[in-house]
Amino acid sequence: MSSAFVAPEQSPPTPLIHTCPVPADPGDLLPELQVTLTALTDLEVRHEIVLDCLEEWSGQDRVKRSLYAEREWAYQQARDAHLERLAGLRERIMGHH
């Protein structure tokens, strides 16, 4: 087994488009909600795969810790962006009532 660590491909976080919370029909926001939830789920699964790969990797602990910290930071940034998007969608849906 090779000792080289190769992380699965990661796509960069999807940039957020900031919009004013204008009341919207919740049904009209369903596609946006589905895309955002799918992206968040994909991010979570990819993160778990990366952590599993790092855990099984036989490289130096110092390097593993560095890679872990780098991946964790990127994961948190992407996760925060998706959660912010979900919060914006929730505001738009709640503004409808």
Q: What is the pLDDT of residues 22-74, one digit of tens each?
A: 556 767 889 999 999 999 999 999 999 999 999 999 999 999 999 999 999 99
The reported pTM is 0.69
In a 10 Å sphere around its CB, with 0-12 CB exposed, 13-18 middle and 19+ buried, how is residue 79 labelled?
Answer: middle
Quick one: pLDDT at residue 94?
Answer: 84
Q: How far is CA 89 from CA 18, 25, 82, in A?
A: 11, 11, 11
Band (pLDDT 50/70/90 cuts) for residue 1 is very low
